[in-house]
Structure 1
Amino acid sequence: MGITRRQLLWAGAGAGAVGALAACSSGGKGGSTDAAPSGTGSQQPRPGGTLKIGALGKASAVTRDPHGTQANESDYLIISLVFDALAAPGVSTNTAPRLAASWKPSDDLRTWRFTLADGATFHDGTPVTAEDVVWSLKRLRNTPSGKSRLPGIQPENITAEDARTVVLVSDYPNAELPLLTRLTTFVLKKDTKDDAIAGAPGTGPFKLDWYRDGNARLVRNDSWYGGKPLLDAVEVRLFESPQAMANALLAGQIDVASNVGAVAARTAEARKDVQIVRRPNDMAMPIVMRTADGPFADARVREALKLAVDRDAMVKQVLSGYGTVGNDILGTGDPALAKDVPQRTRDLAKAKQLLADAGFDTAKTYDLITTEDIAGLAESATLFATQAREAGVKINVVKQDSKIFWDATWLKAPLYTTYWGTNDSVVFFASKTMLSDAGQNESGWNEPAFDETYRKAMGTVDAAERGKLLHQLQEIEFAESGYLLWGMADGIDLAGAAVRDLPRLPGYGRVQLEKTWLAR
């Protein structure tokens, strides 16, 4: 897979409209990201113990490269504990310091300076320098999907001002640039050879002890700049299905089943010795309709399909109630979300009229292509096909192997499912998937008004004015985009009774285990 789509899936989004600029004066110590508590009781956190955590993946798809294709969640978990990104999600602020302690923009919002955390070192004791970060970001930018990972940032515009200051210059004013640094900006030593990446020292809270076919043991980094982690070690175990992982948790073989899904949560509800840790509205599973050409290029046809879906039934049946109804706007956790846009509900009569007005051929059968990459995805396609038939649209669900899907279907097919393991930034989805020149424009959308509004918003310093522009952006998305977002799935972890303070943050935030501990 040339473009590392799933690396974005697990990475998380970025700052909301206010959060990015609010962090400019942050002088906090790196690694200070908040984690919402999990577990019960009033015990004080205590150090020690080994956390055994299960994560989904396939042994045939493992990777060790922090800038490579991370098709397995197990790989992303391991890499995120060993290597640090510049920033991370937070509770008190949408973007919190990590390897970068603070950042500040120029008056024109094009040049941003990032100051590295005091005391940041690699696992071999070598200090982290701005040159290491510059080399790492350029390596990231020069990957096949580099344009999507760091949009608007050319490799030559990533420089070191001094030993602790990294300078990023955007092609255009960008008030939200810090959110990009939450996106797999993992830092390696400068000039690390590709064949040495697997064993390269990181900067994260845990150090690699051993690794075998997607399974790994990580030990505490006592010298981590963010403070000493509580756990002695983390053992990551790869599972190829959510059910197998849930069974291992229920049998006491692991302490945490990560991102295990609604079906497993329902099974565990009666177990008093199992915690169900929910991250509300954590994953988007929209249906994508290609807008550039083909049968869904007419906006009236896309609106008809959006009116044909029974969103409540989708959430109840596909997600077992572990989720919320969506309104065709991506970024549902963003403080800037346009919540006053009227909720789109099912209207079969209007859907049929729109299809007739557009001259849509209801005699044909249209393929909806999906995968079984995550729990509920294929099921959502099947239920939607049944619902669409009531509006006169015949849909045939085609399940594809994951590799074929991402190589041949994604970004190309007229109608397919996709998924994003994050929900917290309207800007993230606009920049990655909806601008006409976006590197991962999933629906082939080209709307000049959307592009213009986005650029204006990104170049606006005043948060209130930027918020108004972001509202306009979402109104355009709601009315015309190729996304049918029927609902948001909760992220669900199952945990043993002894586990405390698992993170509840989205994306990259949920793999930050430095504050997790064991009450035993």
Structure 2
Amino acid sequence: MGFNRRQLLRSSVGVGAILVAAACTDGADPGGAARRGGTLRVGALGTAARIERDPHANLTNESDFLVTSLVYDALTVPGASPNTAARLASSWESDATQRRWTFTIAEGATFHDGTPVTSDDVVWSLRRLRSVGGASKMPAAAEDITADGPSRVVLAVPGPNTQLPLLVRLMTFTVKKDTTDFASAIGTGPFRLESYQGGNARLVRNDNWYGAGADPRLPLLDAIEVTMFESVTALGNAVLGGQIDLASNVGAIAGRTAEGRGDLRVVRRANDTMLGVAMRTADGPFADPRVRTAVRLGVDRKALVDQVHSGYGTIANDILGTADPRYDASIPQRSRDVERAKTLLREAGFDTGRSYPLVTKPEAPGEVESAKVIATQLADIGLRLEVVEQESNAFYDRTWLQAPLYTVSWGTNDSTMFYASRLMASGSNRNETAFRDTEFDAATAAALAASDPAEVDKASRRVQAIEHERGGYLVWGMADGIDIATAAVRDLPALGGFGRVQLERAWLA
């Protein structure tokens, strides 16, 4: 996910600019100009029990998400700066209140069967997404998603929200109105479904893709074959053994194994995943901000990145959204200070004579390991932690939003305001740290309502300063997304998160 758009009152990024704004690639192009043709064999993680072909459902398999994102287009996609680029929506604008947003469908957009895309198709798809996926996937209520003519769609939201173009980057896949059977997968994306069996798919180039813009050759590949692997080990071994050309989102361990092999390249996508710790601020042992500061001062961030992410990552500064173009790098980087941490615990009257549970879950790669390393490090300041591992279902039933201390992982790391509004504002139903701060709420509201970019910048900086000073998160580092590719694969996406599936510019030397 991603969320801090510079589209304040207005954005008009033409479809022809998609390929400039969104196509940040790995840049490995020693073979000269990009050429058309060839079949890219891609491996991605998934399990047979979780196969899902409905583009609006919960796509927990990486393989399903990859296939869906290549076959269907979302309204917008991740970009570098700004961090939202046009896709099926060629432009968008808001009214003066930032509550009513109008998206214009790209000129010439058609489904794979040649049918033009209309506002009725988009409205039906967004309403269905709201019904199937809920408010977390579609912020506008069904009755507030309407057509304004044949090529314009209006989304109205309850409060001012400059971030709406970013929110529709995820899962706003458009299907033909009234579609309920997705076996044929009639989408608008750069590739068409040719065959599908047991989680494995063959996709072929959509020669009529509206998104080609100024480069009619796009997409460059003739076909993409997606193979589902049920374990990271099997996926890594497949690319190491030459069975596939690209292991998508394979992780740091496989990346380290592939380093140094002349026939393989490791593609690092920065700011892909955040592993951190949520500390409850409303009550309990971590309610005192001095205690939370002591925790932050007690960890060795570089050691955590080295041990948990095998060095494939960067240290962070207790602020969510590190890849945001508005990320405030002027805030001093917090580093380990054991003695200061001990002093703060004493000043807060913190009971170091007992141990405290740190609850974790085997959800993101390295998450359980990070809890164990943090517990070892914080013992140096006199804070004794007992690492408690729970299965994900139990974690979300009993721990999330309730426990004093637990690990978290997030993947929308290019927007500070996404996290501020979704995870830390007082009115959020996902307030993981039970954070209540009137100044923070006011700054968040100002950033979401401002029409002047300078005002957004000012409010965003204040939001980040408060989060760093007294928020409830320990954000110690960011993991790189790791792909492994054969030497022939060129121009793979280098953006984190959802950006990894934008393969229309990839080619084979």
Alpha-carbon distance between aligned partners in 2 of 1:268 and 1:124, rounded to the nearest angstrom: 41
Q: Is the 8 A contact 1:215 1:236 kept in 2?
A: yes
1:31-87 alpha-carbon deviations (Å, 9 max, x no partner): 533232443414222222221111122222222222222222222111111111101
The residue type equivalent to 1:157 in the other structure is D
Alpha-carbon distance between aligned partners in 1 of 2:10 and 2:183, rounded to the nearest angstrom: 33
1:383 aligns to what SS in structure 2? helix
Matches within 5 A, 1:40-439: 40-91=29-80, 93-143=82-132, 146-151=134-139, 153-193=140-180, 196-227=181-212, 228-439=218-429
Aligned-residue offset at 1:231 = 1.4
1:249 aligns to what SS in structure 2? helix
Q: Please say which of residues 317-326 and 19-28 is displaced more in the overlay.
A: 19-28
Aligned-residue offset at 1:495 = 0.3
Q: Is the 8 A contact 2:83 2:325 kept in 1?
A: no
Structure 1 gaps of 5+ residues are: 1-11
The residue type equivalent to 2:186 in the other structure is P
Please give the root-mean-square deviation of Cα atoms over the aligned residues, in Å.
Answer: 2.1
Q: Please say which of residues 373-382 and 251-260 is displaced more in the overlay.
A: 373-382
Q: Is the 8 A contact 1:29 1:97 kept in 2?
A: no
Q: Is the 8 A contact 1:311 1:486 kept in 2?
A: yes
Aligned-residue offset at 1:23 = 6.4
Aligned-residue offset at 1:13 = 0.3
TM-score, normalising length from structure 2?
0.93
Q: Is the 8 A contact 1:13 1:424 kept in 2?
A: yes
The residue type equivalent to 2:249 in the other structure is N
Aligned-residue offset at 1:22 = 8.6
1:503 aligns to what SS in structure 2? coil
The residue type equivalent to 2:149 in the other structure is D
1:110-140 alpha-carbon deviations (Å, 9 max, x no partner): 2211100111112222221111111222222
- Identical pairs, percent: 54
Q: Is the 8 A contact 1:81 1:511 kept in 2?
A: yes
Partner residue, 1:7: none
Residue 507 of structure 2 corresponds to residue 517 of structure 1: yes
Aligned-residue offset at 1:331 = 0.8
Q: Is the 8 A contact 1:39 1:275 kept in 2?
A: no
TM-score, normalising length from structure 1?
0.91
Partner residue, 2:15: 28
Regions of 4+ moved over 6 Å: none
Q: In structure 2, do the counterparts of structure 1 residues 293 and 192 end up closer, same or farther at CA, with 3 Å as the change threshold?
A: farther
1:389 aligns to what SS in structure 2? helix
Aligned-residue offset at 1:238 = 1.9
1:172-196 alpha-carbon deviations (Å, 9 max, x no partner): 2222321111122111222223xx2
Q: In structure 2, do the counterparts of structure 1 residues 212 and 294 end up closer, same or farther at CA, with 3 Å as the change threshold?
A: farther
Q: Is the 8 A contact 1:30 1:101 kept in 2?
A: no
Alpha-carbon distance between aligned partners in 2 of 1:75 and 1:335, rounded to the nearest angstrom: 30
The residue type equivalent to 1:213 in the other structure is G
Alpha-carbon distance between aligned partners in 2 of 1:465 and 1:361, rounded to the nearest angstrom: 43
Residue 485 of structure 2 corresponds to residue 498 of structure 1: no
Aligned-residue offset at 1:431 = 2.1
Q: Is the 8 A contact 2:338 2:380 kept in 1?
A: yes
Q: Is the 8 A contact 2:270 2:495 kept in 1?
A: no
Alpha-carbon distance between aligned partners in 1 of 2:351 and 2:230, rounded to the nearest angstrom: 41
Alpha-carbon distance between aligned partners in 1 of 2:298 and 2:327, rounded to the nearest angstrom: 24
Q: 444, 461, 465: which is aligned to 2:434?
A: 444
Q: In structure 2, do the counterparts of structure 1 residues 215 and 418 end up closer, same or farther at CA, with 3 Å as the change threshold?
A: farther
The residue type equivalent to 2:142 in the other structure is P
The residue type equivalent to 2:375 in the other structure is A
1:121-176 alpha-carbon deviations (Å, 9 max, x no partner): 122222211111112222222346x333344x332221111110011122222223
Alpha-carbon distance between aligned partners in 1 of 2:117 and 2:357, rounded to the nearest angstrom: 51
Alpha-carbon distance between aligned partners in 1 of 2:125 and 2:316, rounded to the nearest angstrom: 37
Alpha-carbon distance between aligned partners in 2 of 1:214 and 1:400, rounded to the nearest angstrom: 28
1:276-304 alpha-carbon deviations (Å, 9 max, x no partner): 11112222111112223433233222222
Alpha-carbon distance between aligned partners in 2 of 1:60 and 1:296, rounded to the nearest angstrom: 40
1:486 aligns to what SS in structure 2? strand
The residue type equivalent to 1:164 in the other structure is S
Q: Is the 8 A contact 2:295 2:378 kept in 1?
A: yes
Alpha-carbon distance between aligned partners in 1 of 2:183 and 2:346, rounded to the nearest angstrom: 57
The residue type equivalent to 1:517 in the other structure is W
Alpha-carbon distance between aligned partners in 2 of 1:219 and 1:29, rounded to the nearest angstrom: 22
Q: In structure 2, do the counterparts of structure 1 residues 271 and 23 end up closer, same or farther at CA, with 3 Å as the change threshold?
A: farther
2:294 aligns to what SS in structure 1? helix
Alpha-carbon distance between aligned partners in 2 of 1:264 and 1:457, rounded to the nearest angstrom: 40
Q: Is the 8 A contact 1:148 1:440 kept in 2?
A: no
Q: In structure 2, do the counterparts of structure 1 residues 198 and 179 end up closer, same or farther at CA, with 3 Å as the change threshold?
A: same
Aligned-residue offset at 1:270 = 1.7
Aligned-residue offset at 1:327 = 0.5
Aligned-residue offset at 1:460 = 1.3
Structure 2 gaps of 5+ residues are: 213-217
The residue type equivalent to 2:208 in the other structure is S
Q: In structure 2, do the counterparts of structure 1 residues 155 and 465 end up closer, same or farther at CA, with 3 Å as the change threshold?
A: same
Q: In structure 2, do the counterparts of structure 1 residues 65 and 358 end up closer, same or farther at CA, with 3 Å as the change threshold?
A: farther
Q: Is the 8 A contact 1:229 1:514 kept in 2?
A: yes
Q: Is the 8 A contact 2:185 2:193 kept in 1?
A: no
The residue type equivalent to 2:121 in the other structure is D
The residue type equivalent to 2:314 in the other structure is T
Q: Is the 8 A contact 1:368 1:398 kept in 2?
A: yes
Q: In structure 2, do the counterparts of structure 1 residues 360 and 210 end up closer, same or farther at CA, with 3 Å as the change threshold?
A: farther
Alpha-carbon distance between aligned partners in 2 of 1:364 and 1:221, rounded to the nearest angstrom: 62
